Structure formats: structure tokens, C-alpha cells
Amino acid sequence: MTGAPDFGPRQGTVELRVPKIVPGTFFPSLLEPRRRAERALAAVVQEAYVKGVSTRKVDDLVRALGMDGISRSEVSRICKGPDGEVEAFRSRAIDGEHPYVWLDATFHKVREGARVVSLATVVAMGVTTEGWRQLLGTDVGPSEDEAFWTRFLRSLVRRGLSGVILVISDAHEGLKNAVAKVLHGAAWQRSSVNMPFGGRVPLVISAVGMRTLAA
């Protein structure tokens, strides 16, 4: 037996003996001190960061949880954690055909240096041949112009987007031109409802789509 980490339930401190049967170290992740508490703190800080809470308010939040506070550098370090996962999701391969694609954009206030600027966030949602919705991609740019939409759509095609027969979006001219330029042969329809995330939708969703499937 080796090592004696302390485990502190509310009833008192319990000394745990960790078996050692081979040379080297053996320390189960379940018994790693403060690991769960650190993960919980990281989750709170990351959630606050994603929702736009300032570093000062994050420090106040951590103090409210009974800790001594947290520095700006520590907040930045913790919030870098999800960056790799987000980038892996955004650059993943797109498998299968997506006959229907919804495109939309919105604007967010973003702090760049000492300024607060408005940036466009674009989103592409696809529907598979089985009728399942999938988030195909998202990107952020300075404006919702034709050049930005063209780059975004080309990035989707490079990742494997194929089989598009109908694109649904608002009537933004730059977006319509980008669709015609990149998604050759795809029809376009003006969106009349917001596209929810997740779940399944009927495969035939528009007159244009019905004519295409019947052809």
C-alpha cells in the first residue's frame, strides 16, 4: 500500500490507502485531489465567458462561490480549453448528402482591443436525405457581404457538403449571389420561418423541392 490521500466528506476526513502492485505510479482519477472541484470551477468560468461576463464579474462570481477570486490571466487560460474542441467541430468532415440547406446570419457586439465592434455570425443548417437536421458550420466575419458568404460556402463544400437541391435564406443579395456562385444547380427559396436546431423534419418541404424530387 502506498500514498494516503485525504477524502473529506461532511462526516469527517477519511484516509484512503491506494494499492501499489507494480513499479511506477498508480493514482486513479477518481482519487485525484480537487480534480472534480477544479472541473466544476472551469465549467462555471467558461460558461460565464461564453455569455459575455466581464473578467471582473467572473472574479466576483468566484468569490461568491467561497474562493479567493481569480485573475484575468487565469480566466484566459481556462477559457482557452474549449477552443480546440470548437475548432475540431467547425472543421469536421461533412458526411452524406444534404438536399436542403438553411443559411442565416446575425450580428453580435465583440470587443476588439479597446473598441466594441459589430461582427456577423453566419450559420448553415442542413437536412439529410433521411430528414435529420445537422449544424453544418458557422463562422464570424466583419460583414454579411457576398465575399464573406462565398468564402463560407466554399469552406462547406471543401469539407464535403454535396447534394444540395434547395437553399433557404433571407433575400440578401450578397447571399443569393454567393449561393448561385458556389452551389451550382441548387434552387433558392426565401425563408418564411426560423429554422430550429436538432430533431427531424419532413423531407419534402417546399414546392421547389417537390418539383425537384418528382423530376
Distance CA 188, CA 161 (A): 16
CB-based contact 136:98 (threshold 8 Å): yes
The residue ranking higher by pLDDT, 142 or 64, is: 142
Instruction: Go through the chain and tell me how many residues it has.
Output: 215
- The structure's pTM equals 0.64
Question: Is the pLDDT at 184 greater than 80, yes or no?
Answer: yes
Residue-averaged pLDDT of the chain: 77
β-bridge partners, 187: 166
* Lowest pLDDT segment from 122-131, 147-156, 180-189, 203-212: 203-212
Query: Highest-confidence range of 40-54, 106-120, 187-201, by mean pLDDT?
Result: 106-120
Distance from the Cα of residue 107 to its chain's centroid: 16
* Portion of the chain with pLDDT greater than 70, in percent: 72
CA 78 vs CA 50, 58, 84, 104, 192: distances in Å: 12, 12, 12, 31, 41
Distance CA 4, CA 6 (A): 6
Residue type, 91: S
* All structural domains of the chain: 1-25 (no CATH), 34-81 (no CATH), 94-214 (3.30.420)
pLDDT of residue 136: 95
Distance CA 138, CA 124 (A): 6
All three cell numbers of 166: 434547395
For residue 97, count other CB atoms closer than 10 A to its CB.
Answer: 15
